[in-house]
């Protein structure tokens, strides 16, 4: 009985330690891996065909992948969410640090980067720099001190 209590107490301390490691600004963006996500790594589901520049189902290497693929860290937090349509990246993709803070947000249209790509600092959840693309070609870059838009790119993944 005493061993069980000690074990439970240690589990509780471990839980508190994990919670304490998440920086406060990241608590809002932190996402746990979906329970239905049996595959913990997108590379187990999706393969990239460099010759044809297309993402395929790994199980047959012929079917263009459509859907959202979620990779998870060992701590059960989301590592990245990638969205595909007919084998091309499409929509907003988000990658996270192990702490749960957003690492990057990218937007794709027909497989090419389109619009803003935002790179974040780990612990503060602030934009470190942003790069703007049009049809996959970089056309503008800003560092933190030059960002004056007031737009918060994190709102795209929170909704």
Residue-level pLDDT, tens digit, the chain, 159 residues: 666 544 545 555 454 444 445 567 788 888 888 887 666 788 889 999 999 999 999 999 999 999 999 999 988 899 999 999 999 999 999 999 998 899 999 999 999 999 999 999 887 778 888 999 999 898 887 766 544 445 555 444 444
**How many independent structural domains does the chain possess?**
1
Predicted TM-score of the model (pTM) = 0.73
Q: In degrees to the nearest 10, what's the CA dihedral of 149, 150, 156, 159?
A: -160
Copy the structure tokens of residue 21: 């490691």
In angstroms, rounded to a whole number, what is the distance separating the alpha carbons of residues 71 and 55?
A: 16
Alpha helices in 33-112 (DSSP H): none
In angstroms, rounded to a whole number, what is the distance separating the alpha carbons of residues 94 and 100?
A: 11
Domain that holds residue 102: 2-158
Sign for the pseudo-dihedral over CA of 135, 138, 142, 144: positive
| pLDDT for 148 | 43
Q: In degrees to the nearest 10, what's the CA dihedral of 67, 71, 77, 80?
A: -70
Cβ atoms 29, 157 nearer than 8 A:
yes
DSSP string, 93-138: EEEE-TTS-EEEEEEEETTEE-EEEEEE-TTT--EEEEEEEETTEE
Copy the structure tokens of residue 80: 């990245």
């Amino acid at each position: 009985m005493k061993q069980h209590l000690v074990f439970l107490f240690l589990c509780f301390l471990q839980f508190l330690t994990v919670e304490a490691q998440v920086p406060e600004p990241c608590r809002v963006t932190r996402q746990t891996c979906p329970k239905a996500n049996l595959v913990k790594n997108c590379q187990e589901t999706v393969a990239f065909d460099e010759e044809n520049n297309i993402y395929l189902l790994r199980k047959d290497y012929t079917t263009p992948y459509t859907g959202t693929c979620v990779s998870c860290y060992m701590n059960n937090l989301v590592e990245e969410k990638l969205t595909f349509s007919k084998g091309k990246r499409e929509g907003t993709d988000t990658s996270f640090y192990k702490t749960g803070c957003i690492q990057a947000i990218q937007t794709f249209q027909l497989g090419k980067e389109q619009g803003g790509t935002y790179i974040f600092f780990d612990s503060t959840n602030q934009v470190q720099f942003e790069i703007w693309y049009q049809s996959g070609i970089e056309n503008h870059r800003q560092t933190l001190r030059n960002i004056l838009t007031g737009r918060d790119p994190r709102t795209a993944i929170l909704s």
